[in-house]
């Protein structure tokens, strides 16, 4: 197994290495949208494995399909779906085959919950925050209002909100407090997995750091697993055990956090890491030339090839996913064993 950088990571990798069933596994997950100009291949064959207690970061630039991936996982689909296929196993159960009612009752918000992008601005302005946080329990579990509010109060304490905030309205709270409230709404049903879509990107740095502390504590104390969707590489390192980098609807690298942040494998990962401005380093960030590919018209070969400084003839064909001995994946011809001496 991987050489983990921390004891914590060691535990988690230990879990993954045994025969234990992963918490979440997807195989060839596809979600395409139908538009006037053709199919948008937002999620185009995603294989992911998440162990219990693990936090996986899904990194990517805007338009790479990372938010669509969460929609596919929670089956929150828009009307213009052109294709939705593949397999998703949650706790060993194939949830793609469940009917909508079973999925709603047993998976969505009960097993897997979510903090949507900018959710803190989507709270109902005329309902007290406590009632909004308690709502998932009433809808998905059928609890009484009193019982649900009691649980909501417990969850408030967990995310660092004072109990008297239960009776407040969203406009009486700051952005950081509202973000804690939507986090409470995701945690109130004790889900095993919480998907966070850009949970801190609209917040100030101190608030952001405080929210990341809350997430770390929940992960350590409750063992909740997280999928964190973000474009913010530096902040993502606050929570990540593993990192999956998405590009043009596909994953191009999936690796242990220490491997990804220190010695990334894929040329896109290398450039992305070099493009991050660092406070404690005087090395000027690099700029990645070119544009991400259009999901309407994806190249036939490697989707990063036209921006890649290391491209060669082979890149005209689509590269397979190549795994190293530690289980890290790179979708690049340079990592392919057949590449011979150039293998990295």
Partner 1 sequence: MNVQASVTQAGAREVVLSAEDLHTWFELKRWGMLRIGHVRAVDGVDFALERGETVAFVGESGCGKSSLARTLLGLHKPTRGRVIFEGQDLGALDAAGWRAHRARVGYVQQDPYGALAPFMDVRRILAEPLIVNGVNDAAERDRRIRAALEEVRLLPVEEFLGKFPHMLSGGQQQRVVIARALILAPTLVIADEPVSMLDASVRVEILRLLRDLQRARNLTLAFITHDLSTVRYFAERIFVMYAGRIIEQASVDALLDTPLHPYTRALLAAIPDPDPDNATHYKEIPGGEPPSLLSPPPGCRFHPRCPVAIAGRCEREDPPETTLADGHRVACWLHVGGEGA
**Residue 79 vs 280, nearer CB to partner 1:** 280
Nearest to 69 by CA among 190, 228, 200, 270: 228
Strand partners, 94: 89
Interaction residues for partner 1, span 250-269 (CB under 8 A) = 257-258, 260-262
As given in the structure block, the two tokens for residue 101 are: 């009612």
Decide whether 176 or 248 has the Cβ nearer to partner 1: 176
Question: Binders of partner 1 among 42-101, rule CB under 8 A?
Answer: 55, 61-62
Compare residues 62 and 341 and give the one whose CB is closer to partner 1: 62
Least CB distance to partner 1 at residue 30 (A): 25
Looking at the Cβ atoms of 5 and 118, the one nearer to partner 1 is 5
The contact pattern for partner 1, residues 136-175, with x = CB under 8 A and - = no contact, is: ------------------------x-------------xx
Q: Name, in order, each residue with C-beta under 8 angstroms of 111's C-beta and a sequence gap of 6 or more.
A: 90, 91, 191, 192, 193
Contacts (CB under 8 A) with partner 1, residues 208-227: 208-210, 212-213, 216-217
Distance CA 100, CA 201 (A): 32
The bridge status of strand 329-330 relative to strand 250-256 is: antiparallel
Q: Minimum CB separation from partner 1 for residue 64, in Å?
A: 10
The Cβ-side half-sphere exposure at 235, using a 13 Å CA radius, reads 26
In angstroms, what is the minimal distance from the CB of 145 to partner 1?
A: 30
Q: Establish if 35 lies at the interface with partner 1 (CB under 8 A).
A: no
d(CA 267, CA 334): 9
Q: Which two tokens stand for residue 35?
A: 């538009």
Per-residue burial over 266-297, b if 16 or more Cβ lie within 10 Å, else e, is bbbbbbbbeeeeeeeeeeeeeebeeebbebee
Size of the site for partner 1 (CB under 8 A): 54
One symbol per residue from 274 to 303: x for binding partner 1 (CB under 8 A), - otherwise; what is it? Answer: -xxxxxxxx-xxxxx--x------------
**HSE-up (13 A, CA, CB side) for residue 232:** 18
Interface residue with partner 1, options 189, 236, 265, 269 (CB under 8 A): 236
Residue 180 CB, shortest distance to partner 1, in Å, is 11
Q: What strands lie across the sheet with 81-90, from one edge to the other?
A: 38-50, 24-35, 81-90, 93-94
**23 is a contact residue toward partner 1 (CB under 8 A):** no
Query: Which CB atom, from 105 or from 231, has the smaller least distance to partner 1?
Result: 231
Least CB distance to partner 1 at residue 242 (A): 10
CB of 38 to partner 1, least distance (A): 19
Question: How far is CA 282 from each of CA 49, 172, 217, 270, 286, rounded to the nearest angstrom?
Answer: 36, 42, 32, 18, 12
Q: Is 328 near partner 1 (CB under 8 A)?
A: no
H helices present in the chain, as ranges: 7-17, 66-73, 100-106, 129-140, 145-158, 175-187, 205-222, 233-236, 257-262, 267-274
Question: Cβ closer to partner 1: 88 or 273?
Answer: 273
CB of 256 to partner 1, least distance (A): 8
User: What are the two backbone dihedrals, phi and then psi, of residue 322, each rounded to the nearest 5 degrees?
Assistant: -115, 130
Residues that bind partner 1 (CB under 8 A): 5-6, 8, 55, 61-62, 160, 174-177, 204-210, 212-213, 216-217, 231-241, 257-258, 260-262, 272-273, 275-282, 284-288, 291
């Amino acid at each position: 197994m991987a050489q983990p950088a921390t004891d914590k990571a060691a535990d988690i990798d230990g879990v993954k290495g045994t025969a234990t069933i992963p918490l979440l596994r997807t195989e060839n997950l596809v979600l395409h949208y139908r538009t006037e100009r053709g199919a948008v291949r937002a999620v185009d064959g995603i294989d992911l494995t998440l162990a219990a207690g693990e936090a996986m970061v899904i990194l990517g630039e805007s338009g790479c399909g990372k938010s669509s991936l969460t929609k596919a996982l929670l089956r929150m689909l828009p009307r213009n779906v052109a294709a939705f296929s593949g397999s998703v196993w949650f706790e060993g159960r194939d949830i793609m085959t469940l009917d909508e009612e079973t999925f709603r009752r047993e998976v969505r918000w009960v097993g897997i919950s979510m903090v949507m992008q900018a959710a803190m601005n989507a709270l109902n302005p005329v309902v007290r925050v406590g009632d909004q946080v308690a709502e998932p329990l009433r809808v998905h579990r059928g609890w009484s209002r009193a019982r649900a509010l009691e649980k909501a109060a417990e969850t408030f304490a967990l995310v660092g909100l004072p109990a008297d905030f239960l009776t407040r309205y969203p406009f009486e709270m700051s952005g950081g407090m509202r973000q804690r409230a939507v986090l409470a709404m995701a945690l109130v049903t004790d889900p095993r997995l919480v998907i966070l879509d850009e949970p801190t990107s609209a917040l100030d740095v101190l608030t952001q750091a405080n929210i990341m502390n809350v997430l770390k504590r929940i992960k350590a104390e409750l063992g909740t697993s997280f999928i964190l969707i973000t474009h913010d590489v530096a902040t993502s390192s606050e929570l990540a055990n593993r990192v999956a980098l998405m590009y043009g609807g596909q994953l191009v690298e999936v690796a242990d956090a220490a491997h990804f942040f220190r010695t990334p494998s894929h040329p896109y990962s290398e450039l992305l890491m070099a493009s991050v401005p660092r406070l404690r380093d005087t090395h000027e960030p690099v700029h990645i030339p070119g544009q991400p590919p259009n999901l309407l018209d994806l190249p036939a070969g490697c989707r990063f090839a036209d921006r890649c400084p290391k491209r060669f003839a082979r890149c005209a064909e689509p590269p397979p996913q190549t795994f190293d001995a530690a289980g890290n994946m790179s979708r690049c011809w340079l990592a392919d064993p057949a590449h011979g001496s150039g293998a990295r």
